[in-house]
Amino acid sequence: MSITHFPGGASSSPLASPLTKVTMPTLSEMKRQGKPISALTAYDYGTSRLLDEAGIDLVLVGDSLAMVVLGHENTLAVTVDEMLHHTRAVRRGVRRALVVADMPFGSYHGTVAEGVANAVRFVKEAGAEAVKIEGPRIELVLALTEAEIPVVGHLGLTPQSVNRMGGYRVQARSVETVRQLKADALALAQAGAGALVLEGIPREVAAGITAELPIPTIGIGAGPDCDGQILVFHDLVNLTFTPPAKFVRRYGDAAALFRTAVEHYREDVEHRAFPSDEESYHLPDEVRKSLKPGRNTLTKVGVIQKA
């Protein structure tokens, strides 16, 4: 397997390291060796760069940006052009992690040809290294694989199906639905999907699928037995302004940090404590002296001349 190495050294191991570019084959090797895959969403250059420098393996430009960045009620409103815009920004900030782009609602729900054409845009125009699609769309996965576009599948609670599901509800809770989910997961793997996101399903179901599939699973609300885990970045740092889901663990409080910083800034401005003299630019001494009252002013630049 060919692995791209960044300056500073090389490694013979296909597992991801600080110097090794993560690829879809890397994820498969991580599953084989039992090394957990870390994944987070990102929507801009700064955040994606921080995630990449922190060693996150997979950065997903999620259609969740519709909610956490653009303020929509659900993911359905985000467009292809908006997703392309944010994918480009994220790609500029990433050197090591695998960059995966969500294909938004409506971009692959028509013909297979339309889905492939939109996926090509994510790779060619935005630099995505894989695309993620929701549901058991086997024909589309086959076509994308034939077109040399890596695919990440997504089963279980699929947010683009929120209207059909009647809300964000845990899936696969009956014998029939568990069997169907397992069949869909295997079909996606056989069609060429390189990884599979499992969302909002019982731990036992996710564990069974993970054990049976040859490709890595990445869980979100699917328990600890998946090959990797993913969260929405804004959930991770408390920037969503909504109560967290059961599966979310908050690792920081960016909302409190930002709010305190902004309030301190506002207070300093109101009390003329910002900017200070040290934070201000100054004229050179000779220019400043020439501008004193009673002196010829701005003669060097010809604005005012003494009569």
Give catalytic residues, as residue numbers: 199
What is the chain's percent helix, strand, coil content, to nearest 5? Answer: 40, 10, 45
228 three-class SS: strand
Buried b (16+ CB within 10 A) or exposed e, 175-194: eeebeebbebbbebbebbbb
3 three-class SS: coil
Instruction: Give CA–CA dist 298/307, Å, rounded.
Output: 13
Neighbour tally for 283: CB within 10 Å: 10
Instruction: Please state the separation of Cα 161 from the chain's center in Å.
Output: 20
DSSP-assigned beta bridge partners for residue 39 = 58, 230
Instruction: Give CA–CA dist 258/150, Å, rounded.
Output: 37
Give me the residue label for tokens 């999907």: 193
The span from the first CA to the last CA of the chain, in angstroms, equals 82
Contact (CB, 8 A) for 232 and 62 = yes
Backbone conformation region of residue 302, classed left if phi is above 0, alpha if psi is from -120 to 50, else beta: left
Nearest to 104 by CA among 136, 132, 130: 132
